[in-house]
Amino acid sequence: MRRLPALVRLAHPLPTALNALVAAGLTLVAGGGADHAALAAITMLGIHTSIGALNDLLDRHSDIGRAEKPLATGEVEARTARTVIATSAAVGLGAASLLGPVSVQIAAAGAALGYLYNVLLKRTLASFVPFAVGVSLIPLFAWSAAGREPSQEILLLCIAAIPGGSALALQNALADFRRDQETGVRGLVVRTGERFARVAAAALHLVAWSIISASGAANLPAQLLGGGLVIVGLTLGWSTSIAVRQRGWEISAVGLACCAFGLAFAP
């Protein structure tokens, strides 16, 4: 029990929980029952816990000195992390399999993207790709969990999620910019610079918001709330505090989720 807080941190709890809530909520919007929504949430919790734990396992040496990283502080052993990675992935994919073959295929694709980011793409110019594609898979997964074909509005949402997910990837990398510089991690933001990344993130969020708004079907209050949260998140990204920048990209993610629900509720 003493290690429980450390294990929770290993799962990257805020983005993991947000993905689970969005998937469950969209499943309900799509007409799925509470059991389908619960399985969708368990799928996301399992897969994203696995991805987050693998990220920390691979970076445990470069993360030394970061109090929020339980592997780097020694609160969690590498062997325990490997068990968490395997177990959570099995739980997530197992829950998806109960929703049907399409759901498990989408879930497996999302997991593969996360692992690809951790192992291969994190330190390259293509580091934003797993975010962009992974976010766009969530509405498709939710509709498959509900046993429905995606509507035109949901396909549009998937398209809008690509620039939105890319923007979130840039904001996430901005939070780690100074640490990446110090440890020699040559990711996208280190290569392009902070100013370019901030401008690009704002432009990509604007593109995503414009695609959703241009549909004419989106809920206006949800769009305004989502857009406002995105702006708050982008503004926090200018802070010199790493923790504030981290909260910034998470707030922007909530804003993007609000926009998604605004379109998903379209009649």
pLDDT at residue 47 in the model = 97
Domain membership flag for residue 135 = no
Output the average pLDDT for the chain.
Answer: 91
CB-based contacts of 36-40 (< 8 A; 24+ apart in sequence): 36/99, 36/145, 36/146, 36/147, 37/145, 39/95, 39/96, 39/98, 39/99, 39/145, 40/95, 40/99, 40/103, 40/141, 40/142, 40/145
One domain for residues 180 and 112: no
How far, in Å, CA of 251 to CA of 88, rounded?
26
> Rounded distance, CA 74 to CA 201, Å?
34
Q: Does 96 have pLDDT greater than 70?
A: yes
pLDDT of amino acid 67: 82
- When divided into structural domains, the chain yields a total of 2
| Whole-Å CA distances, 121 to 27, 38, 105, 138, 164 | 30, 31, 22, 21, 19
Q: What is the pLDDT of residue 181?
A: 74
pLDDT (average), residues 175-195: 79
- Which of 181, 55, 194 has the alpha carbon at shortest distance from 113? 55
Q: How far apart are CA 223 and CA 220, in angstroms?
A: 5
Report the chain's terminal Cα–Cα distance, integer Å: 47
Same domain, 83 and 157: no
Amino acid at 8: V
Query: What angle, 0 to 180 degrees and rounded to 10, lies between the N-to-C axes of helices 220-236 and 242-264?
Result: 170
**CATH number, position 24:** 1.10.357.140
- The reply to whether 192 and 103 lie within a common domain is no
Whether the predicted pLDDT of 190 surpasses 90: no
Q: Pick from 2, 7, 110, 91: which is nearest to 53 by CA? A: 7
> Quick check: is 129 in a domain?
no
**pLDDT confidence band for 1 (50 / 70 / 90):** low
Backbone φ/ψ region at 161: left (φ over 0), alpha (ψ -120 to 50), beta: alpha
The last residue of one of the domains, among 89, 124, 159, is 124
Residues 110 and 15 in one domain: yes
pLDDT (average), residues 48-71? 90
| Residues 81 and 179 placed together within one structural domain of the fold | no
Q: With respect to residue 143, please indicate whether it lies within any of the assigned structural domains.
A: no
Do residue 179 and residue 108 come from a single domain?
A: no
Residue 64 belongs to a domain: yes
Same domain, 234 and 177: yes
Percent of the chain topping pLDDT 70: 98
Same domain membership, residue 109 and residue 11: yes
181 and 234 both lie in a single domain = yes
Position 146 in a domain: no
pTM of the model: 0.90
User: Do 242 and 166 belong to one domain?
Assistant: yes
**Can you give the residue range of the structural domain that contains 23?**
1-124
Contact 215, 130 (CB under 8 A): no
What is the rounded CA–CA span in Å between residue 129 and residue 109? 13
Contact 242, 178 (CB under 8 A): yes
Sign, CA torsion 155/129/226/46: positive
Both 161 and 55 in a single domain?
no
Asked if 250 contacts 18 with a C-beta cutoff of 8 angstroms, the reply is: yes
Is residue 2 predicted with pLDDT exceeding 70? no
> Six-digit token pair at 224?
């305004």
Note whether residue 243 is domain-resident: yes
Contact in structure between 146 and 124 (CB atoms under 8 Å): no
Domain co-membership, 92 together with 197: no
